[in-house]
Amino acid sequence: MRIDIITVLPELLKSPFEASILKRAIEANLVEVHFHNLRDYTSDNYKTVDDYQFGGGAGMVMLIEPIDKCITKLKSERTYDEIIYMTPDGETLKQGVANALSLKKNIIVLCGHYKGVDQRVRDMFVTKEISIGDYVLSGGELGAAVLCDAIIRLIPGVLGNETSALTDSFQDNLLAPPIYTRPRDYKGHKVPDVLFSGNFPEIEKWRENQAYERTKSRRPDLLDD
């Protein structure tokens, strides 16, 4: 898979890809991540990427021209499955969205800044709009990092244990059950006995029940879906 991220602030985005699982995924060539600085696609000396809104109103708007130049160049090099715009008014990111995107070959992620992009960018180029939650960030970069992390960990081979993404919270619309490791008794707080029973069907049943109870008490909305 290849992800091209278009941004005015590449430095804000790079570090999540330079550590841990994402770094290993890139080094193992399971995913390629490329950053494109919009200022490299400007044509004036000031490298202008934004301007005032037509009609008045507070806040700057990202210009269509540098975005067009960048996307058009990328599209001339390969075919993209999705061109995603990170925006608080997009579809809320859920596990299912990440699952679907992890199966794509090439995607572009466009990070908005200031008040956002000129509407014509959305009309002309964008195929999908994603929000990471009902709050406003100062730019799409942190949202793009969240989206990329959620996608990349699902690519086969990225996680050491192939089954671990499948047992995450939200896969099957359930939260994950409690987990424990050493010591068995910590200051009187004991690990449930069933986990030492050696009876794996019993342990599985316990985990399923815990996942269900946890979901029912914390996120009953998930059980309605």
Residues that bind ligand ADE (CB under 6 A): 86-88, 112, 131-133, 135-137, 140, 143
Judged by CB, which is closer to ligand ADE: 58, or 220?
58
Q: Report residue 219: phi and psi, to 5°.
A: -135, 60
Contact 104, 152 (CB under 8 A): no
Judged by CB, which is closer to ligand ADE: 135, or 200?
135
Judged by CB, which is closer to ligand ADE: 66, or 143?
143
Judged by CB, which is closer to ligand ADE: 147, or 174?
147
Contact 172, 134 (CB under 8 A): no
CA gap 3, 25 in Å, rounded? 13
Question: How many CB atoms sit inside 10 A of residue 73's CB?
Answer: 11
**Nearest distance in Å: CB 136, ligand ADE:** 5
Contact 176, 43 (CB under 8 A): no
Judged by CB, which is closer to ligand ADE: 106, or 131?
131
Report the number of secondary-structure helices (H) and strands (E) in the chain: 8, 9
**Nearest distance in Å: CB 152, ligand ADE:** 17
**Nearest distance in Å: CB 91, ligand ADE:** 10
CA gap 36, 14 in Å, rounded? 11
CA gap 184, 175 in Å, rounded? 24
**Nearest distance in Å: CB 140, ligand ADE:** 4
CA gap 110, 141 in Å, rounded? 9
Q: Which residue is nearest to ligand ADE (CB)?
A: 143
Strand duo 2-7 + 32-37: pairing: parallel
What residue spans of 125-199 are helical by DSSP H?
Answer: 141-152
**Nearest distance in Å: CB 33, ligand ADE:** 18
Judged by CB, which is closer to ligand ADE: 146, or 159?
146
**Nearest distance in Å: CB 107, ligand ADE:** 15
